[in-house]
Amino acid sequence: MRLILLGPPGAGKGTQAQRLIAKYGIVQLSTGDMLRAAVAAGTPVGLKAKAIMERGELVPDAVVVAIIADRIDQKDAKPGFVLDGFPRTVAQAEALDRLLAERGLKLDAVIELKVDEEALLKRIETRVWQMLERGEKVRADDNPEVLKGRLAAYRTQTAPLAFYYASKGLHRMVDGMAAIDEVTAAIDRLLAKAVEKAAGKAKRAAAKPQPRKRGKTAKKAPKSASKGASKSGSKSASRRAKKAGRPAGAKRRKAGRKNGRPVRARRNSSSRRRLTKAR
Ligand code: ADP
């Protein structure tokens, strides 16, 4: 099972991802968590990302794509994964498509948690209080000012992914304002359908008679026949040139019109010289 959870900050992606990994035996790949770990460890990626994250902006695509490429190749990600916080831009989504295609893998679904922004601000405020009460360190970007920036980044850069995945028939929507268990149940129902659909597709593909392979003697169509015919270097073009007394590869002179009457194109100096000699 390979999934993407889409939704603005505070939509509940992390909570639902935890439930999904327990149910399907897959791993959660959160670029936010990975970047925070890199910042804490002071790695080169962490040093690059720290200030950007504190401003609530997006880390460069190349950085997160490299992190994800590395992570999906690890053994524990083989049974599947739920991506949380990635992709966040169309460029990242395209990079993910390439990564998966190179590995012969496919996404099963992209689930968007739909929530309203007012509620998000309240949710994050509550999250901060709960963390403080537990004596945990609060995220540097969990404050109202930065949160506004994170929401704006989501609206402009990430929300268009809903259309991107809808065009691929993968996008599904769940009401993220419902109670946590209800959201989980809605995701379960969607995934059951997606799995059923994929199984049906695989069954139909297996039942479909395979087209017979051509025998060895069968004639192949010439490679890029249409392209070759228009090139001056092609056989027919050089034959035409020979007939017209032009060196192969030379362009045909074009006749033009003057005062509405057709006129022959002027010969260039070298062909004029050749003609004078011959006379
Ligand atoms: P959020 O709660 O805002 O969804 P995350 O934990 O997913 O937070 O990410 C925190 C920060 O990490 C983001 O605001 C951004 O700076 C950076 N980040 C995480 N994932 C990505 C990504 N895929 N592309 C760019 N930046 C990212």
pLDDT, tens digit (0-9, with 9 covering 90-100), for 213-236: 565 444 444 443 333 333 344 445
Predicted pLDDT at 228: 38
* d(C-alpha 132, C-alpha 130), whole Å: 5
* d(C-alpha 279, C-alpha 265), whole Å: 20
Sequence-ordered list of residues with C-beta below 8 angstroms from that of 176, at least 6 positions apart, any chain: 7, 11, 12, 113, 114, 115, 183
Ligand 1: centre distance to CA 204 (Å) = 40
88 catalytic residue (yes or no) = yes
Minimum mean pLDDT among 17-21, 110-114, 118-122, 188-192: which range? 118-122
What number does the ligand 1 atom closest to the CA of 57 have? 16
Angle 31-41/44-55 helices, nearest 10 degrees? 120
DSSP-derived 3-state class of residue 263: strand
Predicted pLDDT at 261: 59
Give the DSSP per-residue string, 183-212: HHHHHHHHHHHHHHHHHHHHHHHHHSPPPP
Pocket of ligand 1 (CB under 6 A): 9, 31-32, 35, 52-53, 56-59, 64, 85-86, 88, 92, 141, 150
Q: What is the mean pLDDT of the chain?
A: 82
139 catalytic residue (yes or no) = yes
* For residue 262, cis peptide bond before it (omega within 30 degrees of 0): no
* d(C-alpha 94, C-alpha 62), whole Å: 12
pLDDT, tens digit (0-9, with 9 covering 90-100), for 182-212: 999 999 999 998 878 777 877 888 887 777 6
The reported pTM is 0.72
| CA-to-CA dists, residue 263 to 181, 194, 217, 276, angstroms | 84, 69, 52, 21
Mean pLDDT for 115-130 is: 87
| CA-to-CA dists, residue 13 to 9, 165, 183, angstroms | 8, 17, 10
Predicted pLDDT at 232: 41
